[in-house]
Amino acid sequence: MRLLLFFNQFHRDLKGQKLRTALTTFGIVWGTTSIVLLLAFSTGLKERQLQQQHGMGESIMILWAGTTSKPFEGTPKSRNIHFVEDDPEYLKSMIPEIAMASPEYTNWSATIKYRDKVFVGQVTAGNAEFGEMRNLIPEPGGRYIDQNDIDNKRRTAFIGYETWQELFGDEDALGKTIFINFVPFTVVGVMIKKDQNSSYSGSDRRKTFISYTTFTSIYNRKYLNNIVLKPVEPSHSKDVEKRVDEVLGRKYHYDPTDEEAIWVWDTSQNDEFFDELFMGMNVFLGIVGVFTLIVGAIGVSNIMNAVVEERSKEFGIKMALGAKASFILWQLVAETLLITIIGGLIGLLFSGLIVRVFPMFNLEKYVGVPQISLEIAFVATGLLGIIGFISGFFPARRASKLNPVEALRL
């Protein structure tokens, strides 16, 4: 019964302040929509950037041999370090925090031919784990280089999507023979399209991948171009880097603290950078959204001040009949919260509608897909609750402190 009376009174108050209530509710709707959409688009953009970053591989480490910059135990500085074929497995056996490791050879400019089509591209060679580390995923029906290819030095090739387009057009490439520098290879897989905005040796879309044992049998290379590692956990990467210097420092006799002896690109640091960047962006966008909500909150507070002025006599009668000041206080706070919640719910629903229809504009390639996560919904709800409470508390406190006798004279 009391709840019904509350809603009846709330409805009468709104009817008496139609225009002001509508404008204030719009302010809350606008503020809620702004903060939710800003955070949703920020989340979508972050996921898009990480997706493109991980096109090269997620949480991998790339090692290049360098030149020593420090003398060490009787050996001079300026010595060139060279990685050899068994170094990846050696590192894996010595460092349990390494989950996968692969050698990598590169022929930067190879002539690849299919029938009368000629394509000049890059040939990259690694082991079976290389494909998994580097996100080289085959189209349905195909595969990447496997252990049988490596053990038997088979002339099999996994080609990038653009390599397939250049050589085959729309023709199925599986099982077909291509010639790499006049050496025949059988195509066993075509890489699916993938987003990739980072690389250390060019886009994978235009590469051709073969077994490293086949590569050395053809090109007779002695030294690797680089090594690719993947830690068991991304959080282990700094420890792995330190241990790599220790292990290879002993093998190649250089100072483990020599930062020029080997070069390491730890891609998990890119993820950390993006996490920090978008955390800062979310804080900034959140502040912008909060200020927008505060504008709406000022409108709510003005409405409640007007309500207090108009209902002063009513409050005086209630208190004269025994109503406690706390009852008046919490009645007005509840009304304020209700206005705020209504505006907030409309804002959340409108934000959800925008996020739902956004993919129709085909802009995901540029800004990703906006996502309203539970965290965003909780943040918006929490802010609405705080702002609604503050907006109503001070007018309500003024009403609760009215002198019943003076209120009855108004």
Q: Distance between CA atoms of 248 and 61, rounded to whole angstroms?
A: 15
Average pLDDT rounded to a whole number, residues 233-239: 90
Question: Whole-model pTM above 0.85?
Answer: no
Higher pLDDT, 281 or 317: 281
Q: Please give the share of the chain, as a percent, with pLDDT higher than 90.
A: 46
pLDDT level of residue 200 (50, 70, 90 thresholds): confident
> What does the pLDDT read at residue 345?
86
Q: Would you call 65 exposed, middle or buried from its count of C-beta atoms within 10 A (0-12, 13-18, 19+)?
A: buried
pLDDT level of residue 254 (50, 70, 90 thresholds): very high
Model confidence at 166: pLDDT above 60: yes
Average pLDDT rounded to a whole number, residues 232-242: 92
Average pLDDT rounded to a whole number, residues 232-260: 93
β 177-180/226-231 pair status: unpaired
Rg from Cα positions in the chain: 33
Higher pLDDT, 47 or 19: 47
Residue 112: enclosing H or E segment and its boundaries?
strand 98-114
- 316: its two tokens: 């005086």
> What does the pLDDT read at residue 156?
98
Residue 65: enclosing H or E segment and its boundaries?
strand 61-65
The backbone torsions φ and ψ at residue 286, rounded to the nearest 5 degrees and listed phi first, read -65, -40
Average model confidence (pLDDT) for the chain?
A: 84
> Collapsing DSSP states into helix, strand and coil, what is residue 106?
strand
Higher pLDDT, 310 or 59: 59
> What does the pLDDT read at residue 245?
95
Higher pLDDT, 98 or 307: 98
Average pLDDT rounded to a whole number, residues 367-379: 76
Locate the domains of the chain by residue range: 2-53+272-409, 61-266
Residue 211: enclosing H or E segment and its boundaries?
strand 207-211
Direct distance between the N- and C-terminal alpha carbons of the chain, in angstroms, rounded to an integer = 29
Q: Please give the share of the chain, as a percent, with pLDDT higher than 70.
A: 83
Higher pLDDT, 33 or 187: 187
Query: Which of these ranges, 88-92, 341-345, 365-369, has the smallest mean pLDDT?
Result: 365-369
Residue type, 88: P
Q: Distance between CA atoms of 272 and 278, rounded to whole angstroms?
A: 10
Q: What would the DSSP string read from start to end of 135-181?
A: T-PBPTT-----HHHHHTT--EEEE-HHHHHHHHTTS--TT-EEEET
Any alpha helices (H) in 54-182, and if so which ranges?
87-94, 128-133, 147-151, 161-168
Higher pLDDT, 173 or 284: 173
